[in-house]
Structure 1
Amino acid sequence: MCEPIVDLPEDAFPGAVPLATARGFARAAWQNEGHSLEQLAVFAAASGGEFDALEVAALLVISPRAAQHRLDLAVTLATRLPRTLAAVKAGRLDTYRASKIADATLPLSLEAAAIVEEEILDRVEDMPPVKLSRALRRIVARVNADALQALHEQRMAQRRVDNYPTEDGCSVLTVHGSAARVQVAAGRVDAIAHQLRDTGGADGRTMDQLRSDVALDLLAGKDFEHAKVIVQVTLPARAALGVDNTPGHLVGYGDIAAQHAVDLAYQTDATWRRILTEPATGRVLDVGRRRYTPPAALRDHIQASMPTCTGPGCVRPAAHCDLDHREPFPVGSTDEHNVHPACRSHHRGKTFGGWKIIKRAGILEWISPCGFHYPHTPEPITHPEPADAEPAPPF
């Protein structure tokens, strides 16, 4: 049995020991996975045969498709991202997150990929996959903004629908396509499900059950009236003017290529919302809009400055979260310094589950019941401009 890599904070509670040990075993397993990938790369370099994936699939008792993916990842890490492979072998990250780095750097040169790798590895350990993907898109766009568009086009060329059975008489259907179209599709399913619930058509079904039934009804032939869905695209002023190719931001997804953002923003049904950001940092200063009546100003500002739930590892969009008081009202005030977005699960965890939130130097820090600390720093939604950049003309 492999030895766990146990790392406990000094002020950890006794109940944290089994959790830290479990995490230690996971990290030890990552080490083994790293060495396994290294050996697969050696095998691929020596063989290079058409049917290598079948050999690996049989040996590891996985599908040929999964085996090919492992072989491709092994070769990519060994030849293009040696520091990432070393991090996996050291137990710093798992192979799934390593595959995210490999995918994001695919359109880059070896030199550019090394720059991205060096920057992301400094902070990868505490990043769940979705946050890692968003951070990678931001770094890749800064290193080579054209690569983001190239990767988008490549992925769009690979769009598909997958259907596979589960063991319980059910199946899973996944649609891979444009992030904007998927957001609209998911929003429509959600809107219809809420409409059914609010008009007494739920028949005892939960919201998850309603969403599943609505999605299948839409695809299998049951008609619904069109539900209006609004997708927000933030388009940096300099990209809108064609001055540069600074990426845009799609709410609920993250950075998108500049041209993709321009195309979305100027569609006839697009929602234009002006978000004023500080050029030096890319963080939100103020929110305005050209269309639609705004909701409460405070909610609008908080949702823009903190785009997701502040809970550890959570990426639920702020628009779908509760506005939680760090210090309970009325002791704590209702303002931007004390209110933050929290999904219902994290909100309930703080209220009833023993989680605590403190604020240090303007940064929220969640403390688990076992004493683990998880600081939350919201990502900027636009790219900081270089100090010598010319200011963009106002709209």
Structure 2
Amino acid sequence: MYESVDLPEDAPPEAVPLAMARGFTRAAWRAQGHELEQLAIFAAASGSEFDAVEVAALLVLSPRAAQERLDLAVTLATRLPRALAAIKAGRLDPYRASKIADATLPLSLEDAAVVEREILDRVEEMPAVKLCRVLRRIVARVNADALQALHEQRVARRRVDMYPTEDGCAALTVHGPAARIQVAAKRVDAIAYQLRDTGGADGRTMDQLRSDVALDLLAGKDFQHAKITVQVTLPARAALGAGNTPGHLVGYGDIAAQQAVDLAYQADATWRRILTEPATGRVLDVGRRRYSPPAALRDHIQAAMPTCTGPGCVRPAVRCDLDHREPFPVGPTDKHNVHPACRPHHRAKSFGGWKIIKRGEILEWVSPCGFRYPHHPEPITHPEPVPPPF
């Protein structure tokens, strides 16, 4: 069943098929919601250890995928009924619902309901990666110890997967702690850029260089040390050991307070420490030994807005352009007019007919078809309640 979507005022003709595509997508989500509901009913009625085999054969899935589908169905029906209702209403897809289920796994039913209620008020226009970041923040606020518990569970399941793709190629994925993965990825990037800048690329693209460097490192090839910097944010009180408010790892999102404190003093990379003001969660101080004023402005913007501001984009700000909302020299180069934008979003604004309207702290991206996508800047750490006066 098709769900109509309101078109923006004065929308051009090409906006009509986009609106129809969105309507069909939401109709598919509704159908998937009803499918999950029926799978939960089946699991409750059957209770056999071979339920996944039955589902796999019927839905043409692998046994593992069928088990994951069944587990999600049961979790939504028993722990997250509002999320299941949102899928059936076409407001949420099963994949993002699975992220809510994963994030609330260590919580009690009562706390899970609190997280579910809050995230469903905001989830409709939120892509999966951003959803995971916001979920970690809400979970940590509801139960600060849960974030650490979830981290420990995930680390305990770290692994390496290898699977064939096509035409003689294969994929190797490493699952592990976000901080270590980020250090490893940055080292691959640094070496690849070093090869490119010193004439060692031999015509290879950056993606090809990254792949070759990563495999060379795993195979034991020794590269000259490449300097990397990783940014970790922690609330001032947590830095003093006086609070457990979560910190923030740039390029990933919220991490438990103790992780942030530990990372700030780790020695396997250059870790830039950023302190935040307790009452607001905004940037208070950027730890820096040597940088000129333009670099200081860049550091501040990248710390205050840790991702691209484009709709649905979570590319880390350190890998984005610093774009002038009002083109220079009409618009100044300051924190009010400069924001991080990945290269595709930067080019879309400069050459593709996109516009950005600033409304207070909100940057609203307007597409050529007239659709509007507000970017709401969030504090990168949790605001802390002001303690009562003595």
Could you state the TM-score of these two structures normalised by the residue count of structure 1?
0.94
SS at match of 1:255: strand
Per-residue CA distance 1:305-357 (angstroms, 9 max, x = gap):
11111111111111111111111111111111111111111111111111111
Counterpart pick for 1:287 among 273, 285, 288: 285
Tell me how far apart the structure 1 counterparts of residues 389 and 309 of structure 2 sit (CA, whole Å).
33
Quick check: 1:326–1:332 contact (8 Å CA) kept in 2? yes
- The CA deviation at 1:54 is 1.3
Alignment of 1:141-180 (within 5 A): 141-180=140-179
Alignment of 1:21-36 (within 5 A): 21-36=20-35
Name the amino acid aligned to 2:260. A
In the comparison of the two structures, how many residue pairs are matched?
389
**2:215 matches 1:216:** yes
Alignment of 1:153-302 (within 5 A): 153-269=152-268, 271=270, 273-284=272-283, 286-289=284-287, 291-293=289-291, 296-302=295-301
Tell me how far apart the structure 1 counterparts of residues 295 and 288 of structure 2 sit (CA, whole Å).
16
Name the amino acid aligned to 1:360. R
Tell me how far apart the structure 1 counterparts of residues 339 and 356 of structure 2 sit (CA, whole Å).
11
Per-residue CA distance 1:261-297 (angstroms, 9 max, x = gap):
222223245656453534332122x433254546622
Tell me how far apart the structure 1 counterparts of residues 194 and 272 of structure 2 sit (CA, whole Å).
26
Quick check: 1:7–1:24 contact (8 Å CA) kept in 2? no
Quick check: 2:231–2:274 contact (8 Å CA) kept in 1? no
Quick check: 2:238–2:257 contact (8 Å CA) kept in 1? yes
Tell me how far apart the structure 1 counterparts of residues 330 and 236 of structure 2 sit (CA, whole Å).
41
Tell me how far apart the structure 2 counterparts of residues 160 and 290 of structure 1 sit (CA, whole Å).
35
**2:350 matches 1:351:** yes
Name the amino acid aligned to 2:385. P
1:378 corresponds to which residue? 377
Gaps of 5+ in 1: none
**2:99 matches 1:118:** no
Quick check: 1:306–1:340 contact (8 Å CA) kept in 2? yes
Name the amino acid aligned to 1:350. K
- The CA deviation at 1:90 is 0.3
Quick check: 2:106–2:149 contact (8 Å CA) kept in 1? yes
Quick check: 1:354–1:369 contact (8 Å CA) kept in 2? yes
Tell me how far apart the structure 2 counterparts of residues 3 and 70 of structure 1 sit (CA, whole Å).
25
Tell me how far apart the structure 1 counterparts of residues 93 and 7 of structure 2 sit (CA, whole Å).
20
**2:93 matches 1:87:** no
Gaps of 5+ in 2: none
Quick check: 2:147–2:256 contact (8 Å CA) kept in 1? yes
Per-residue CA distance 1:104-154 (angstroms, 9 max, x = gap):
000000000000000000000011011100000000000000000000000
Could you state the TM-score of these two structures normalised by the residue count of structure 2?
0.95
Quick check: 1:250–1:256 contact (8 Å CA) kept in 2? yes
Tell me how far apart the structure 2 counterparts of residues 221 and 264 of structure 1 sit (CA, whole Å).
26
Tell me how far apart the structure 1 counterparts of residues 141 and 187 of structure 2 sit (CA, whole Å).
33
Quick check: 1:5–1:28 contact (8 Å CA) kept in 2? no
Quick check: 1:306–1:341 contact (8 Å CA) kept in 2? yes
SS at match of 2:368: coil
Tell me how far apart the structure 1 counterparts of residues 271 and 209 of structure 2 sit (CA, whole Å).
31
Quick check: 2:230–2:272 contact (8 Å CA) kept in 1? no
Quick check: 1:272–1:289 contact (8 Å CA) kept in 2? no
Tell me how far apart the structure 2 counterparts of residues 377 and 241 of structure 1 sit (CA, whole Å).
30
- The CA deviation at 1:201 is 1.1
Segment of structure 1 superposing worse, 241-250 or 294-303: 294-303
Segment of structure 1 superposing worse, 379-388 or 107-116: 379-388
Quick check: 1:233–1:271 contact (8 Å CA) kept in 2? no
Tell me how far apart the structure 1 counterparts of residues 369 and 377 of structure 2 sit (CA, whole Å).
24
1:387 corresponds to which residue? 386
1:317 corresponds to which residue? 316
Quick check: 1:273–1:291 contact (8 Å CA) kept in 2? no
Aligned-CA RMSD value:
1.8
Q: CA distance change for structure 1 residues 77 and 390 in 2, over 3 Å: closer, same or farther? A: farther
SS at match of 1:235: strand
Quick check: 2:32–2:94 contact (8 Å CA) kept in 1? yes
SS at match of 1:296: helix
Quick check: 1:272–1:291 contact (8 Å CA) kept in 2? no
- The CA deviation at 1:158 is 0.6
SS at match of 1:233: strand
Per-residue CA distance 1:55-84 (angstroms, 9 max, x = gap):
111111111111111111000000000000
Q: CA distance change for structure 1 residues 345 and 178 in 2, over 3 Å: closer, same or farther? A: same
Tell me how far apart the structure 1 counterparts of residues 64 and 86 of structure 2 sit (CA, whole Å).
25
